[in-house]
Copies of this chain bind each other. A is one copy, B any other.
């Protein structure tokens, strides 16, 4: 008996070694195919240069949907369709910010924050009060800030090596400043951009108004303008003229997620999703955020088809609509999955830029994570080594929360992301072809792994 047990164990070891070698070989084939024949970089060029930025509910977003449908069909996917999602429509219109530095008004580069209400096209002129933090603001008497324009001068923490930590730390000054400022009767808000940039690009991005709070206009300035304004506030009195037309439309607009899939050969009812978001802010070209994630998801289908991989589970690439200011697409995807009683075994998101992949984050049970971690040394030759973060993504958030679907997020190198994020500088030229492709390699490898070994 003991002998037989040993033999079974030995046999299992041989099988494991063989399976591991097969996995390693397929990892290599996937990488070679994408690095040599991948189309994601070319696809991104077309998206960026023929569509450009594509805010939810705009004609550009409609054009992006058409582009996505065509690109998805180009992979040879078994099925491509559009999934309806009604999206909010925020309109920027004209905007300007003038700062009175050295006694003279000068226009500076600015962007109103997404979802904010502007000045109705009128000019709001008021003295500026600078504070570095919410606490500093709340410590001021109402008389000091009433009817003033508050400059929230909080700096992105460059000492944090993972720039997403710095973002998490600073983003409340974009998201919540109007609600804090309204508590003391301020008239408008300027924020230092949530930016690691050594430049002067203003960064837009979503904010929100709390219920029953006065909707104050909020504008972002680039780091160099913020430095100048900081200096001026420390040495004298400064005023601003804010003029903006931005507003949230009352009606939602019809839009779509774009979905392509390869049908599973053995258990087609089980679905692995990989996606990015198709919408962007209304600046730049949405190259890193998140054209990159879209073309990488499409690349996964292309590579599987090109390599003749016939997955046992169904593989879906999804271009989600409206991640930036509503997550209507992510919610529609989850709601449809619930209505159709779909069985999702994994959802993966790429929405942290088209940079060299460093790791994969997991939001799933310890048992599920443990199963995947057994294989993660296979990623090491591709410089993907970090599996410690608890990360999924915004668009797969609803399906993760509502259906308890295990979630994973691609983690690229984070150093440059917040230089470009939500700016006019998030353009195709800032994406490196090899870095972008390597991200797609990681996604395809992870899907290959889960398809073979389950989760």
Interface residues of A (CB under 8 A from B): 31-32, 35-36, 41, 158-159, 161, 163, 196, 198, 356, 358, 381-383, 385-386, 413, 415-416, 419, 432-435, 438
State how many angstroms separate the Cβ of A148 from the closest Cβ of chain B. 30
Whether the pair B36, A161 counts as a contact (CB closer than 8 A) is no
Task: Give the interface centre of A35, A358, A433 by most chain B CB atoms within 10 Å.
Answer: A433
Contact with A196, one of B159, B163, B434 (Cβ below 8 angstroms): B434
Whether the pair B32, A438 counts as a contact (CB closer than 8 A) is no
**How far, in whole Å, are A432 and B32 apart by their CA atoms in the complex?**
28
Whether the pair B438, A415 counts as a contact (CB closer than 8 A) is yes
Task: Give the interface centre of A158, A161, A198 by most chain B CB atoms within 10 Å.
Answer: A161
Smallest CB gap from A155: residue in B: B36
Residues in B with CB closer than 8 Å to A35 are 158-159, 161
Contact with A434, one of B158, B358, B432, B433 (Cβ below 8 angstroms): B158
Whether the pair A382, B432 counts as a contact (CB closer than 8 A) is no
State how many angstroms separate the Cβ of A89 from the closest Cβ of chain B. 35
Whether the pair B435, A415 counts as a contact (CB closer than 8 A) is yes
The 5 closest A-B pairs by CB, nearest first: A415-B434, A32-B159, A35-B159, A198-B433, A415-B435
Smallest CB gap from A38: residue in B: B158
Residues in B with CB closer than 8 Å to A32 are 159
Residues in B with CB closer than 8 Å to A161 are 31, 35, 381-383, 438
State how many angstroms separate the Cβ of A381 from the closest Cβ of chain B. 7
- Whether A163 contacts B434 in the complex (CB less than 8 A), given A36-B158, A415-B356, comes out as yes
**How far, in whole Å, are A32 and B159 apart by their CA atoms in the complex?**
5
Residues in B with CB closer than 8 Å to A433 are 198
Residues in B with CB closer than 8 Å to A415 are 356, 432, 434-435, 438
Smallest CB gap from A432: residue in B: B416
Whether the pair A159, B31 counts as a contact (CB closer than 8 A) is yes
**A-B contacts besides A161-B382, A416-B435, 16 pairs, CB < 8 Å:** A35-B159, A35-B161, A36-B158, A36-B159, A158-B434, A161-B383, A196-B434, A356-B356, A356-B413, A358-B383, A383-B413, A385-B385, A413-B413, A415-B434, A415-B435, A416-B434
Smallest CB gap from A33: residue in B: B159
State how many angstroms separate the Cβ of A424 from the closest Cβ of chain B. 16
Task: Give the interface centre of A32, A385, A415, A435 by most chain B CB atoms within 10 Å.
Answer: A415
State how many angstroms separate the Cβ of A26 from the closest Cβ of chain B. 15
State how many angstroms separate the Cβ of A442 from the closest Cβ of chain B. 11
Smallest CB gap from A418: residue in B: B434
**How far, in whole Å, are A161 and B31 apart by their CA atoms in the complex?**
8
**How far, in whole Å, are A435 and B435 apart by their CA atoms in the complex?**
15
A-B contact pairs, 25 of them (CB 8 A): A31-B159, A31-B161, A32-B159, A36-B158, A36-B159, A41-B198, A158-B434, A161-B381, A161-B382, A163-B434, A196-B434, A356-B356, A356-B413, A356-B415, A383-B386, A383-B413, A385-B385, A415-B432, A415-B434, A415-B435, A415-B438, A416-B432, A416-B434, A416-B435, A419-B432
